[in-house]
């Protein structure tokens, strides 16, 4: 649809007629009282008639140029179809553990044993896809915590960078406190009621500069809600030359600290022992932190004023050129 941003400027269209009517007429040149007709006078009459016709054409060109100029000043624009923009106040930071213990293959995915990080990528990736309209960021941590993706609406990029992460990329140890501290730093300037950090780990804090409980206190002061997820099976069967035995692959998981972090910040602690529990946790997070349904309409706008302005400039150039040529020929 074509609209005018300043339609009231169209009131200027009759301005040249008003000026012509209100301004005094130019004085007429008086011819001699007595003239002797010669052949040249008849030729001059034909030239005057032709000049009058050309003058009339120039007046019409000037009128069209004025209309185009006023139309350009009114700023015509093309409005596209309205688009729904999902608006959500949710700002979610995902903190994923990449320490060496995440390579433990105690999760079964599609009838195949996979490591913990592979299972996390699968489930967290689906969670990211569902969060349409949310700003999502990604923190990867091991011996140190790194901001892989700042808060963004580009869920595809966040998911891609999560899938490209690798065990040991951030070191062998686990810096839970640093990951929480980095998450708080990235969330503290966002709206207070929607700051959420989801931290997934399979171990205990063994590195970093900030103790997890101290980082949780900082998160509570900054009103950042932290959900913690402890990942890893409680029991697997290990077969060796001497037979089979049952072991607990999650013996290093510090559930006490993870629960304390969640309690201090108003979040919750979850335990994921297999792929189904992990999927259930992320579905529950969808319920605890629902996606806002508010929508904002956006209409793309394209300016059209260069077209009438260009026509006006071309016509003005033609008029100036013709009048200059007349004066040169008559001079």
pLDDT for 235 equals 61
For residues 241 and 323, membership in a common domain is answered with no
What is the domain extent for residue 262?
Answer: 86-295
pLDDT in tens, 191-237: 777 789 999 998 889 888 999 999 999 999 999 999 999 988 876 55
What mean pLDDT is predicted for residues 39-47? 49
**DSSP code, position 74:** T
**DSSP letter for each residue of 23-55:** SPPPPPPPPPS-----HHHHHHHHHHHHHHHHH
157 and 211 in one domain? yes
Residue 331: per-residue pLDDT: 57
153 is a domain residue: yes
Question: Which band of pLDDT confidence, cut at 50, 70 and 90, is reported for residue 269?
Answer: very high
Same domain, 66 and 147: no
Residue 237 in any domain: the answer is: yes
219 and 307 part of one domain = no
pLDDT number for residue 263: 95
**264 is a domain residue:** yes
Residue 49 has pLDDT above 60, yes or no: no
pLDDT in tens, 237-253: 555 555 555 555 567 78
Name the packing angle between helices 39-73 and 306-330 (round to 10°): 160
Residue 39 pLDDT > 50: no
Assigned domain for 276 exists: yes
Distance CA 196, CA 90 (A): 8
Same domain, 75 and 138: no
Strands 91-97 and 195-201, bridge-based pairing: parallel
Average pLDDT taken over every residue of the chain:
82
Q: Do both 194 and 249 map to the same domain? A: yes
Q: Are residues 75 and 110 in the same domain?
A: no
Q: How confident is the model at residue 287 (pLDDT cuts 50, 70, 90)?
A: confident
Domain with 146 in it: what CATH number?
3.40.50.410
Contact 123, 278 (CB under 8 A): yes
Could you give the number of structural domains in the chain? Answer: 2
What is the rounded distance in angstroms from the CA atom of residue 117 to the CA atom of residue 125? 12
Q: Which residues contact 78 (CB under 8 A, 6 or more apart)?
A: 1, 2, 301, 302, 304
DSSP per position, 166-183: -TTTT-SS--HHHHHHHH
């Amino acid at each position: 649809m074509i609209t005018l941003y300043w339609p009231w400027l169209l009131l200027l269209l009759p301005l040249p007629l008003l000026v012509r009517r209100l301004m005094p007429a130019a004085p007429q040149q008086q011819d001699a009282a007595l003239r002797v007709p010669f052949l040249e006078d008849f030729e001059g009459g034909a030239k005057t008639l032709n000049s009058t016709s050309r003058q009339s054409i120039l007046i019409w060109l000037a009128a069209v140029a004025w209309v185009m100029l006023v139309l350009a000043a009114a700023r015509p624009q093309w409005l596209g179809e309205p688009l729904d923009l999902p608006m959500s106040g949710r700002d979610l930071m995902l903190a994923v553990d990449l320490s060496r213990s995440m390579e433990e293959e105690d999760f079964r995915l599609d009838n195949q044993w996979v490591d913990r990080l592979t299972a996390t990528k699968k489930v967290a990736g689906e969670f990211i896809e569902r969060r349409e309209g949310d700003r999502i960021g990604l923190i990867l941590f091991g011996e140190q915590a790194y901001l892989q993706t700042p808060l963004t609406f580009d869920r595809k990029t966040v998911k891609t960078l999560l899938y490209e992460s690798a065990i040991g990329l951030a070191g062998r140890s686990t810096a839970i406190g640093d990951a929480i501290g980095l998450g708080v730093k990235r969330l503290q300037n966002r709206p207070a009621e929607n700051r959420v950090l989801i931290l997934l780990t399979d171990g205990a804090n063994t590195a970093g500069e900030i103790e997890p409980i101290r980082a949780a206190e900082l998160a509570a002061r900054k009103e950042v809600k932290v959900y913690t997820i402890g990942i890893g099976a409680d029991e697997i069967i290990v077969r060796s030359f001497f037979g089979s035995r049952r072991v607990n692959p999650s013996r290093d998981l510090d559930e006490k600290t993870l629960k304390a972090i969640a309690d201090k910040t108003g979040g919750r602690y979850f335990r994921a022992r297999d792929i189904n529990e992990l999927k259930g946790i992320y579905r529950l997070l969808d319920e605890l932190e629902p996606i806002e349904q508010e929508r904002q309409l956006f209409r793309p706008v394209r300016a059209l004023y260069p077209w009438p302005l260009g026509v006006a400039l071309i016509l003005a150039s033609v008029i100036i050129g013709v009048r200059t040529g007349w004066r040169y020929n008559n001079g």
